[in-house]
Amino acid sequence: MSKKILVISTSLRNGSNSDILADEFTKGAIEAGNEVQKINLKDKTIAFCKGCLACQHTKKCVINDDAVKIFETIKDVNVVVWATPVYYYNMSGQMKTLIDRLNPLFVSNYKFKDVYLIATAAEADETAINGTITGLKGWIECLDKTNLKGIIKAVGVCNAKDVNNFKNYLSKAYEMGKAV
């Protein structure tokens, strides 16, 4: 059965390792017959959440920027894929800011159940990604219909495009996309 998939690439760097892996995931998912949309946050304007909680009553955010459009897209897909570089043992600030702005999801009739994570880190130890996983799991725990279905931990990739030298990571991303 074909699924609607949203891939959110959170890196601001051109040729970023997480974005390259997001593209590999996308290729696999499309080859498997799924409909995939990819959003790059580097091209978006997303303000910080004000914490006003108006969205819990109105089901929409009071801030009119690109996060509102992403919210409208994310609530109608079956699968959400986050691709992020790891900064200081956690997800990128752009990813965290968008997650905070997706607060209207709690009171909406969102469709997605499956969440995937593609994370890249300069450090060679896979534990460098644990903080990112913990942060994403916090968001997932708040959305009662969702679960974390898969994680790619691409470590030891520092400079732009380094991941191209790691065929195992490219293959994992492609195969995970194909298996969605």
Domain regions of the chain by residue span? 4-179
Beta carbons of 39 and 70 less than 8 angstroms apart: yes
Contacts of 90 (CB under 8 A, 6+ apart): 96, 131, 132, 135
- Domain 4-179 top-level CATH class: alpha beta
Counted residue by residue, the chain has a size of 180
Q: Residue 24's pLDDT is what?
A: 98
Which 3 state secondary structure label does DSSP give 35? strand
Q: How many Cβ atoms sit within 10 Å of the Cβ of residue 136? A: 23
Q: Residue 68's pLDDT is what?
A: 97
Tell how strand 4-9 and strand 35-40 pair up. Answer: parallel
Reading the chain (180 residues) residue by residue, the pLDDT tens digits are 899 999 999 999 999 999 999 999 999 999 999 999 999 999 999 999 999 999 999 999 999 999 999 999 999 999 999 999 999 999 999 999 999 999 999 999 999 999 999 999 999 999 999 999 999 999 999 999 999 999 999 999 999 999 999 999 999 999 999 999
Beta carbons of 7 and 37 less than 8 angstroms apart: yes
